[in-house]
Amino acid sequence: MTARLAKIAVESFSAGQRDLYDAIAGGPRARGPQHFAVVDGEGRLEGPFNAMLLHPRLGSALQGLGSVIRYGSSLSDRARELAILAVAYAWDSAFERYAHEAVGRSVGLDQRDFDALRAARFEAFADPHERSVASTAYALATRRDLSDEEFAAAGAELGPALLFELSTLVGYYATLALQLRIFRVAAPVGTGDDPGSNASPGSAAGPGADGRPDQPRP
């Protein structure tokens, strides 16, 4: 797969791009253990962050939203990563899988959890909160809606505020998955993810050509 957007070199930054770069590369994503690379060996932004430099004001708002979702969440770490991965699997997003399976492992998830989520086997999650987050995020990512029964169940377990947060998380990571797809951004070489996973808009799960969401691949 050939990337459609070259990585923007640090030495070419405008003032706005430099401010955005510093917020991403020097913000909370850069603190503590690094489970996936935010910058490459030449200091250029990886994954979805490179495209944010194209429009620094919009990119700043977008990365700020992502920072709140990742580091100011009311969800538990495990539940948050399950929700993010539900989006990654629904969109078949190689970079999001690479990044958030790594983060997920760091907070106690394992391959059995990933496999259960991909196959929509929510009963595999013993904790009722995690089960509700996983099933609700899956429904939002694949069908873009909740049935009356699903809404009532999610509201009873999570409450309105957490359901709002979860829907925002799904929307944010779906936005990143779309951008990763259209700019043909793969996971880094050697991570074990198929570099073609984002290559064809019609080949991955997520909203299909007829406007209806496909189901995630098991």
How far from the centroid of its chain's Cα atoms is residue 77's Cα?
14
pLDDT band with cut points at 50, 70 and 90 for residue 188: confident
* pTM of the predicted structure, to 2 decimals: 0.86
Is residue 22 within a helix (H) or strand (E), and if so which, with residue range?
helix 15-25
Which residues are CB-contacts of 100 (< 8 A; sequence separation ≥ 6)?
81, 84, 85, 88
Return the minimum-mean-pLDDT range out of 25-39, 48-62, 65-79, 190-204: 190-204
Residue scoring higher pLDDT (45 or 194): 45
DSSP letter for 122, please: G
Give 213's strand partners. 207
Could you give the CA distance from residue 26 to residue 22 in angstroms, rounded to a whole number? Answer: 5
Q: Return the amino acid letter for 41.
A: G
Sketch the domain layout of the chain as residue ranges.
10-71
Tell me: pLDDT of 195 over 80. no
pLDDT at 32: 64
Residue closest to 168 by CA, chosen among 94, 93, 91, 70: 70
Please tell me the distance from the alpha carbon of residue 19 to that of residue 13, in angstroms, as a whole number.
Answer: 9
The stretch 80-107 carries a mean pLDDT of 96
What per-residue confidence (pLDDT) applies to 35?
81
Type of residue found at 111: Q
